[in-house]
Amino acid sequence: MNIIQYIIMIVSVNISVLGNIQVFSVTPQIKLVIQQGDITRCSVDAIVNAANEQLLGGGGVCGAIFNAAGWDELQKACHRVPRVYPGINNVRCPVGEARITKSFNLLDRGVRWIIHAVGPDCRVIKDENKQNERLMKAYQSALRCAVEHEDIHSLAFPFISSAIYAFPPQRAARIALETTIAFLKNHQSNLKEVHFVLFSQDDYDLFYNKVEEVL
């Protein structure tokens, strides 16, 4: 690798890790952070994985989290989560619910917990009202998991269901923000910061533009 290639690599990594960032006040005690970048590099107590019902490692943000945490260790931890319907599809976390595991290698980056939240797959769930309800519940369940652990003061969400699960981005962003802000305003909790970490510029712009409509 020559010096030019090295510089390009370093600049690219810094953009993907840091990206754009904006901070908003939900209450005098709680901040909402909209940022572009890699959720596994976010300096928070817990990150949310956009999980599937079987809690299996996958692609996209799920795969990135499994890779950063240590695929084998995290998968073993997920396999220890009890199945909800024994013998049927190995479901460990139904749509709209969340489960929590340790973070394994991510502990080196300050992340102590991974909250696995399952959003709706809009290729399967076609009813718009059901899509909205289950996405809202996925965010609420993840927030409840965080509140139940008193050592979680900061939490980072990805854009749940927006990629392979094909949830329309405009609607998904509004639900994500409205649900999270309402929860933070209406629940006493240990949370001081909630981040939305968006990988693409388009998703960052979408959330940034939606925040002031919702707050």
By residue range, what is the domain housing residue 31? Answer: 20-214
In a domain, 12, yes or no: no
In a domain, 198, yes or no: yes
The 46-51 sheet, strands edge to edge: 21-27, 30-36, 193-198, 154-157, 46-51, 113-118, 98-102
Percent of the chain residues topping a pLDDT of 70: 90
In a domain, 135, yes or no: yes
In a domain, 82, yes or no: yes
For the stretch 37-72, pLDDT in tens is 999 999 999 999 999 999 999 999 999 999 999 999
In a domain, 13, yes or no: no
pTM of the predicted structure, to 2 decimals: 0.90
In a domain, 4, yes or no: no
**Lowest-confidence range among 1-5, 76-80, 149-153, 179-183?**
1-5
Report the domain count for the chain. Answer: 1
Task: Work out the mean pLDDT of the chain and round it to a whole number.
Answer: 90
In a domain, 142, yes or no: yes
- Compare 158 and 214 and report the one with higher pLDDT: 158
List Cβ<8 Å contacts ≥24 apart for 81-87.
81/55
The CATH code of the domain that includes 120 is: 3.40.220.10
Between vectors from CA 120 to CA 107 and to CA 48, what angle results, nearest 5°?
10
In a domain, 145, yes or no: yes
Check whether 9 has a pLDDT greater than 70. Answer: no
**Lowest-confidence range among 82-86, 177-181, 187-191?**
82-86
Distance of CA 181 to the CA centre of its chain: 15
